[in-house]
Amino acid sequence: MTVTGISNLSVEPNVIEVQLEVVTEGMSLSQVQQENADTMNQVIQALLQLGIARENIQTTAYTINPKYDYVDGTQVFRGYEVTNAITVKIKDIDQAGNVIDVAVQNGINRVSNIQFTVENKDVYYKQALSSALKDAYAKAQTLANTMQIGIAPYPIKIIEKISEAPITYKAYATMEASTPIEPGQIVIGATVEAQFHY
């Protein structure tokens, strides 16, 4: 007899990762790069002053793009765009809105990719895995009872089904003092396939 056990554990996230970008434009590449670097350095200093650890601030992208307009079918150069992106890990979710506000006040002009997660996710996954196995055993017992047969108390084979699906989350705007960031809950799931003798 083969059954599938499923468990989904709802957990309040305790970490937010957010991408913050400084985008600058101008005709002189060196000037645009310098302006961008100065602004990003100012942002990083402001984040450090808020108590964000330096190891929780990581550069994730740096791009230089020439920009063009098209006038009467002719390509006209209109300058350069420099983008510097950092990802910031915020371990105090209640401060997330304030962190974003301070970053914007110091020159961030694009905010994206807000992701909620939990530290020690493996602990929660193991809880879900244990519950999934109990679910599989309960299903096997239900089937055995229906057929009026006995089953072995332990499975002869267990397969952990690994899912690489991203963590799902909900976000609601409920705070008023600063940029509203509300994490909702994330779901950590586990699935096992178990075989029992009967």
Residue 156: DSSP 8-state: S
Look at residue 178 in the predicted model and tell me its pLDDT.
60
Q: Please list the pLDDT of the chain residue by residue as tens digits (198 residues).
A: 999 999 999 998 889 999 999 999 999 999 999 999 999 999 999 999 999 999 999 999 999 999 999 888 899 999 999 999 999 999 988 888 899 999 999 999 999 888 888 888 899 999 999 999 999 999 999 999 999 999 998 999 999 998 754 444 433 333 334 666 666 788 899 999 999 998
Look at residue 12 in the predicted model and tell me its pLDDT.
87
Instruction: Give this prediction's pTM.
Output: 0.70
Beta-ladder partners of 192: 5, 160
- CA dist 36 and 26 (Å) reads 11
The encoded tokens of residue 55 equal: 């190891």
What contacts 50, CB < 8 A, 6 or more positions away? 95, 98, 99, 102
Look at residue 162 in the predicted model and tell me its pLDDT.
83
The encoded tokens of residue 192 equal: 């096992």
- Which residue is associated with the tokens 């017992």? 141
Look at residue 168 in the predicted model and tell me its pLDDT.
40
